[in-house]
Chain A
Amino acid sequence: MFATERNFALLMVAPGLLVLLLTTTFPLVFLLWNSFHTVNLAMPFLDGFAGLDNYARMMADSRFWHALQLTAIYTFSSVALQLFIGLGLALLVMQISAGQWLFRIVAILPIVLAPVVVGLFWRTIMLAPEFGIIDFIFRILGLGQVNWLGSPTPALISVIIIHTWQWTPFAFLVLLASLAALPPEVFEAAKIDKAGAFQRFRYITLPLIRPAVVIVVIMRSMIALSAFAAIFAATGGGPGTATEILNLYAYKTSFVELNFGYGSALAVSLLVITICVSGLLFRLRTAHRG
């Protein structure tokens, strides 16, 4: 009886499981498979098993290391900015007794925009030389012209700002919810004990919202590591290779250069890095729980 019921249940789950395998597991395995092969549409006569060649090539590829470095800078600075600005905003909004809902609604707006729209919006309306709003403000304030998307360092700063602009509200909302749920008694007790505002923040608020902070850092890091659309729309990885993070490089290698073998190897490396980073962050989270 139990056995048949179990079999029946399995049968019911099977179609869903199959779809899941076909749409998630299979492409992943295929990606791995490709990364160990030469698959180059420009030179189909070379196609075949390549062993670790693609990975060896990656180690010697300066553009890969450059992309990796940019990915690290991009992820670290945008997550840090999101966390600090988001936490700051949340603490400020907590001081407001009425109308918090308004801030929550406004905060949602950037998040619901498609990243490609965000990228185009910043590229054309905000950062364009001569016509862009930021350029206009800079000129009015007498700060001179900065070629935001046209010079290497400003372009990198710009894409970090764009990502931060879109995703700080996420950190803000999560931290605000977490702050709102803190027990007021603890703070009252601390005040009676004459703890200052900074002390209360450092020794009470921060430890209590730590789980939320860690969640924000983990989720934002995973997304930032694999960011694509906004940068693609705003700079296309340029000028030169100034904003070409690993994900863009993998895309270009596969779909512009048509070298799917090497492109897959680059994508696998990004996958491994993302898994390692989030694994490490999860470990940090659990380590402190005990």
Chain B
Amino acid sequence: MTKADDNTNQRSVPLVTRRTLLKGAVSGAVLATSSGFFAGRAYADGQFMDLDSLRAANIDWRQAEGASITVGVIPAGYFQNLETVLPDFKELTGIDVRFEMTPPGQIRQKAVLDLSSKTGTWATHAADPMYYDLYVTNDWVDPLDGYLGDAKLTDNDWFQYEDILAGWRGATSVGGSPFGIPFDGEATIQVYRKDVFDKLGLKPAETFDEFTSNAAAAHDPDNRLWGTALRGFRGAGQNMYIYPSIFRSFGGEWFDNTGKMVVNGPEAIAALNWYVNLLNNYAPPGVENWNWPDIADAFGQGTVASYIDAHGSAAVITNPEKSKVIGKIGFARWPKGPSGKRVSSIWNWSFPINGALSQKDKVATWLFIQWAASKETQVATTYAFPGAYKRTGANRTSVWEIGEYRATLEAAGDNYIAAATTSFAEDTDVEWRPRLPQWPAVGDTMATAIQAALVGQSTVTDALNEAQKKIEAILKG
């Protein structure tokens, strides 16, 4: 739910076939829709990537030939790009993969129902990192050590698991063992209107106080410009996306010395107060029902001066069909909280292996996951993708270092790459959210409390005390 499901009309982009690609040099239409890098290259095999480069891996890609698996994903541009390049996977492995698109609001429930009933409907699915503790507690998914360590299944000299961003690997591991392989993700960054800030002599905020004072200075609702907006809608993936970063920036710890979860300590009260005051003073009316698309739309319409959210939301505000502020956008890192910490989410969509599958299907699923997370497929679905939408959440350090990739991203606006990469390197926090199998219940309880405080249904202190009581009951069972 937290990701940018922009560009949902991706599927209407005509597929660029190998033949048209070979003709690419003379085909102006293809050149116009492809990056120069892609159009200039003719692959020896495969439509979208060089399959020989994949075959260089010292494993038998065809060991599960004939298998057929279903993958649950959300209808977002980054998965649609992956779906588009699937024919190359079939060509490589002889495995049929079918994507089933489920809206982000329902995919968690559907996955849990599938896993708990052990029907094995989804061989793998786009998994929320917060759900791994729940999956592992119930033995619903396979530990991936065995797959990564098996020379028959993985050639790590080629795959390079360690190349995947460390924060994301941490987020999809439980007790040090990986249970999912990240495919796409994001950093939480500050986005602001450069023209407005320049006119008022403001700089992107370095601290929370500056963020508030910037919002106050830019706030001009009579001229339909509001100071800022953050996610206000109630949900584990909505207001509980932004609040944990604020809480951690205030120096909050989810667990005390004895391991007891505490959500109503002084840092929590200060963090929630900051959030409630900021939004009540400087956010547009209705913000308590806003998720990130609402924020990005409002910013794109020029009615919000700054926000903090996923770097992937840039796809909305730089979309010429939707946005009126193209060329006026600046990006910066998450501002420092009172504790001196900047805290980005470790949000990513990753692929686990459903434990209820047959052995052959497990192998097929692992091959699919390895392929999707490989550098080749990451490149083919990001800057080299032959469509208008190019993914911006590549999972590997090495991809973030490629010049073409950086060039595609830098077009989004001022300082975009630097803000995102520094966040990945320095601001990600594995303890961003409390890692517990009871997360769905805990996350929802917190989300309810935060929204209740925001709309004044209860005071900040009462809301957090109430949440603490409820969470203690949840953890007791």
| Contact A258 to B441, CB < 8 A, known contacts A236-B234, A240-B458 | yes
Asked if residues B438 and A42 are in contact (CB atoms below 8 Å), the reply is yes
In the complex, which residues 274-313 of chain B have their Cβ closer than 8 Å to any Cβ of chain A? 284-286, 288-289
In the complex, which residues 111-153 of chain B have their Cβ closer than 8 Å to any Cβ of chain A? 112, 116, 134, 137-138
Q: Which residues of B contact A205 (CB under 8 A)?
A: none
Asked if residues A42 and B137 are in contact (CB atoms below 8 Å), the reply is yes
Asked if residues B134 and A41 are in contact (CB atoms below 8 Å), the reply is yes
0/1 string, A30-55, CB within 8 A of B gives 1: 00000000101111111000000000
Asked if residues B286 and A241 are in contact (CB atoms below 8 Å), the reply is no
Asked if residues A239 and B440 are in contact (CB atoms below 8 Å), the reply is no
Q: Which residues of B contact A236 (CB under 8 A)?
A: 234-235
Asked if residues A239 and B234 are in contact (CB atoms below 8 Å), the reply is yes
Interface assignment of B456: CB less than 8 Å from any CB of chain A: yes
Q: Which residues of A contact B83 (CB under 8 A)?
A: none
Interface assignment of A149: CB less than 8 Å from any CB of chain B: yes
Cβ of A183 to closest chain B Cβ, rounded Å: 53
Asked if residues A255 and B452 are in contact (CB atoms below 8 Å), the reply is no
Q: Which residues of A contact B470 (CB under 8 A)?
A: 63
0/1 string, A45-85, CB within 8 A of B gives 1: 11000000000010001110000000000000000000000
Asked if residues B286 and A239 are in contact (CB atoms below 8 Å), the reply is no
Asked if residues A255 and B234 are in contact (CB atoms below 8 Å), the reply is no
0/1 string, B434-461, CB within 8 A of A gives 1: 0011111100100011011111111000
In the complex, which residues 96-118 of chain B have their Cβ closer than 8 Å to any Cβ of chain A? 109, 112, 116
Asked if residues A41 and B286 are in contact (CB atoms below 8 Å), the reply is no
0/1 string, A143-167, CB within 8 A of B gives 1: 0010101111000000000000000
Nearest chain A residue, comparing its CB with the CB of B470: A63
Instruction: Provide the bound-state CA to CA distance between A130 and B138, in Å.
Output: 46
Instruction: Provide the bound-state CA to CA distance between A52 and B366, in Å.
Output: 45
Q: Which residues of A contact B137 (CB under 8 A)?
A: 42-45
Contact among A43, A130, A241, A258 with B452 in the assembled complex (CB-CB below 8 Å): A241
Interface assignment of B57: CB less than 8 Å from any CB of chain A: no
Instruction: Provide the bound-state CA to CA distance between A240 and B288, in Å.
Output: 10
Q: Which residues of B contact A42 (CB under 8 A)?
A: 134, 137, 436-441, 474
- The prevalent SS among residues of B at the interface is helix
Cβ of A210 to closest chain B Cβ, rounded Å: 41
Asked if residues B112 and A147 are in contact (CB atoms below 8 Å), the reply is no
Interface assignment of B473: CB less than 8 Å from any CB of chain A: yes
| Contact A239 to B134, CB < 8 A, known contacts A40-B477, A43-B477, A258-B112 | no
Instruction: Provide the bound-state CA to CA distance between A242 and B456, in Å.
Output: 11
Cβ of B409 to closest chain A Cβ, rounded Å: 32
A-B Cβ contacts below 8 A, count: 96
Interface assignment of A188: CB less than 8 Å from any CB of chain B: no
Interface assignment of A256: CB less than 8 Å from any CB of chain B: yes
Q: Which residues of B contact A152 (CB under 8 A)?
A: 455-457
A63, A240, A256 pick with most chain B CB within 10 angstroms: A240
Cβ of A134 to closest chain B Cβ, rounded Å: 13
- The prevalent SS among residues of A at the interface is loop
Asked if residues A240 and B451 are in contact (CB atoms below 8 Å), the reply is yes
Cβ of B459 to closest chain A Cβ, rounded Å: 12
Q: Which residues of A contact B439 (CB under 8 A)?
A: 42
Asked if residues B441 and A147 are in contact (CB atoms below 8 Å), the reply is no
Instruction: Provide the bound-state CA to CA distance between A129 and B290, in Å.
Output: 11
Asked if residues B457 and A41 are in contact (CB atoms below 8 Å), the reply is no
Asked if residues B444 and A257 are in contact (CB atoms below 8 Å), the reply is yes
Contact among A40, A45, A255 with B109 in the assembled complex (CB-CB below 8 Å): A255
Cβ of B383 to closest chain A Cβ, rounded Å: 36
Instruction: Provide the bound-state CA to CA distance between A43 and B134, in Å.
Output: 8
Cβ of B15 to closest chain A Cβ, rounded Å: 34
Nearest chain A residue, comparing its CB with the CB of B236: A256
Interface assignment of A211: CB less than 8 Å from any CB of chain B: no
Nearest chain A residue, comparing its CB with the CB of B140: A41
Interface assignment of A252: CB less than 8 Å from any CB of chain B: yes
Q: Which residues of B contact A230 (CB under 8 A)?
A: none
Q: Which residues of B contact A151 (CB under 8 A)?
A: 455-456
Contact among B437, B444, B451 with A239 in the assembled complex (CB-CB below 8 Å): B451
Asked if residues B451 and A147 are in contact (CB atoms below 8 Å), the reply is no
Interface assignment of A259: CB less than 8 Å from any CB of chain B: yes
Q: Which residues of A contact B440 (CB under 8 A)?
A: 42, 256-258
| Contact A239 to B455, CB < 8 A, known contacts A38-B477, A150-B288 | yes
Interface assignment of A128: CB less than 8 Å from any CB of chain B: yes
Asked if residues B457 and A128 are in contact (CB atoms below 8 Å), the reply is no
Between-chain CB contacts (< 8 Å), 10 pairs: A41-B134, A42-B441, A43-B438, A62-B466, A129-B286, A147-B286, A151-B456, A239-B288, A239-B454, A240-B463
Extra inter-chain contacts (16) besides given A42-B437, A257-B474, A258-B440, CB under 8 Å: A41-B138, A42-B137, A42-B436, A43-B477, A44-B137, A129-B284, A129-B286, A147-B286, A150-B289, A152-B457, A238-B288, A238-B448, A239-B289, A240-B455, A240-B458, A258-B441
Binding site for B on A (CB under 8 A): 38, 40-46, 57, 61-63, 128-130, 145, 147, 149-152, 236, 238-242, 252, 255-259
The 5 lowest CB-CB distance pairs between A and B, nearest first, are A240-B452, A257-B441, A129-B286, A240-B457, A239-B455
